[in-house]
Amino acid sequence: MGLLSIQSFNATLITQWLDKHSGSVQAVSAGLIVLLLILALVLLVIAYAIFSKKTAPCSDAFASIAHDQAKFLRATQRAYISVEPDGILMVVGGAGVLGHVGVHNTGHLPAHNVRWFLDIKASPDRAEKEFAIGALNGDAVVPPGVIMPRATSTKCLSQNSTRKVETQ
């Protein structure tokens, strides 16, 4: 039992009704259609202006959030270098010691143009006041998460060898 099987909705009646009224739809002038389209366009422009005015504070807030996110991204997505002590090792024969450190990149991007100065100096009273900084060495790239081991290029005389020199 479909819609067309009900007696009040006969397919012929529907067809007759459509034929009768289709002529009036075709009689609508093209000028009226253009006028309706222009009215619809004006209403859309007014609605857009109201919407833009209401959402302007939101777009300013979004721009501020985007600016803050960009600053945060620049701060977090960079190289962070730290120098970590890696011990003092005695050279073969025990005549001196070398200082060792690790240059650690804890950031998220490679650290470029990494240069360093390493030296070791004995301080008998542990109250050294001055430690001259010499020329920088190297020009390395340290990838993220890598510890680049470095050592002093000159050895410091060990305390035992210093005593031997003083007693002779």
Q: Model confidence at 105, in pLDDT bands (50, 70, 90)?
A: very high
Within-domain flag for 8: yes
Together in a domain, 55 and 103: no
pLDDT for res 163: 43
Together in a domain, 103 and 29: no
* The model scores a pTM over 0.75: no
Within-domain flag for 13: yes
pLDDT for res 24: 60
Within-domain flag for 1: yes
* Size of the chain, expressed as the number of residues it contains: 168
- For residue 95, the enclosing domain spans 81-125+132-167
Together in a domain, 93 and 41: no
CB-based contacts of 78: which residues, under 8 Å, 6+ apart?
A: 107, 108, 109
Within-domain flag for 85: yes
Together in a domain, 54 and 89: no
